[in-house]
Amino acid sequence: MNRRDFLLAAFGTAISTAAVPTWAFASPASALGFHLTDVTNAAGLQFLHNSGAYGGKLLPETLGSGCAFLDYDGDGWQDILLLNGMDWPGHKRQRCTLRLYRNNRNGTFTDVTRIAGLDIELYGMGVAVGDYNNDGFPDIFITCVGQSRLFRNTGKGTFVDATHSSGLFGRQGFSTSALWFDYDRDGLLDLFVCNYVRWSPEHDVFCSLDGSHKS
Ligand SMILES: [Ca+2]
Ligand SMILES: [Ca+2]
């Protein structure tokens, strides 16, 4: 039995012997007290994530990208930020950026990415929203494969890249998530960044189910 067959057999056994609660299959949606409807298209959210996959099967492609609800313009209505990946160097096919959608207050959203100054390519992983300069407008920190980025909200519907001026430039890594919190309680948000593993395309670990092809 090769490794693939072993894993499939072990997984099947685990499923068949696991105690699956009956409620997992017995509750109709109406019994939950709410119902979710897919309004993505109706809301005007036209977005397709690009992992950059070209066949090399690189580790970051498996993680996807984060998103955030934030009221970036302070009108009391939640706006949407969707992160994106990008094509890998040497495999450029298209230009992909993160996207910011402004809430139109009627169930629809408008793509304001370019107007807001966020028409930027990066290999985004996660996003942490916080008003780090206490001006009343939420700022954005995006964790990336490579250089993570800090964008300061100008309060005028735009963002400026504050990665250099904040001292965060040069800290390259494979950062996945982050958190704004005031750890020393001085009234100013501090930043906690989580890094995943030491990685580069050249050192991507070869993993295989059949022993010959990369999985
Ligand atoms: Ca808003
Ligand atoms: Ca701010």
How many whole angstroms separate alpha carbon 123 and alpha carbon 96? 10
Task: Tell me the two tokens of residue 143.
Answer: 């964790």
- What pLDDT is recorded for position 32? 85
- What pLDDT is recorded for position 201? 87
Q: What predicted TM-score, i.e. pTM, was given to this entire model?
A: 0.84
Per DSSP bridges, beta strands 190-195 and 172-181 are antiparallel
From ligand 2's centre to the CA of 160, what distance in Å?
11
From ligand 2's centre to the CA of 47, what distance in Å?
26
Residue 207's pLDDT band, with cuts at 50, 70 and 90, is confident
Q: Is 116 left (phi over 0), alpha (psi -120 to 50) or beta?
A: alpha
From ligand 2's centre to the CA of 114, what distance in Å?
19
The radius of gyration computed from the CA coordinates of the chain, to the nearest angstrom, equals 21
Kindly state the average pLDDT of the residues 62-90. 96
Res. 17: pLDDT tops 50: no
From ligand 1's centre to the CA of 129, what distance in Å?
14
What share of the chain has pLDDT > 70, as a percent?
86
Res. 90: pLDDT tops 80: yes
For residue 140, the one-letter residue type is I
Residue 26's pLDDT band, with cuts at 50, 70 and 90, is low
Q: Which ligand is nearest to the CA of 136?
A: 2
Q: Give Cα 53 to chain centroid, integer Å.
A: 16
Res. 22: pLDDT tops 70: no
Query: Are 150 and 141 in contact, with CB atoms under 8 Å apart?
Result: yes
Q: Which ligand is nearest to the CA of 135?
A: 2
Q: Which ligand is nearest to the CA of 109?
A: 1
- Rounded (10°) CA dihedral 38, 42, 45, 49: 50
From ligand 2's centre to the CA of 157, what distance in Å?
12
Which ranges of the chain does DSSP label H, i.e. alpha helix? 3-17, 23-26
Cβ neighbours of residue 21 under 8 Å, at least 6 residues apart?
none
Q: Which ligand is nearest to the CA of 137?
A: 2
Q: Which ligand is nearest to the CA of 69?
A: 1
Please tell me which residue, 160 or 25, carries the higher pLDDT value.
160
Q: Give Cα 123 to chain centroid, integer Å.
A: 9
Among the listed residues 75, 163, 61, 63, the one whose alpha carbon sits nearest the alpha carbon of residue 112:
75
Cβ neighbours of residue 107 under 8 Å, at least 6 residues apart?
39, 42, 43
From ligand 1's centre to the CA of 34, what distance in Å?
25
Q: Which ligand is nearest to the CA of 189?
A: 2
What share of the chain has pLDDT > 90, as a percent?
76
Kindly state the average pLDDT of the residues 123-140. 98
From ligand 2's centre to the CA of 139, what distance in Å?
5
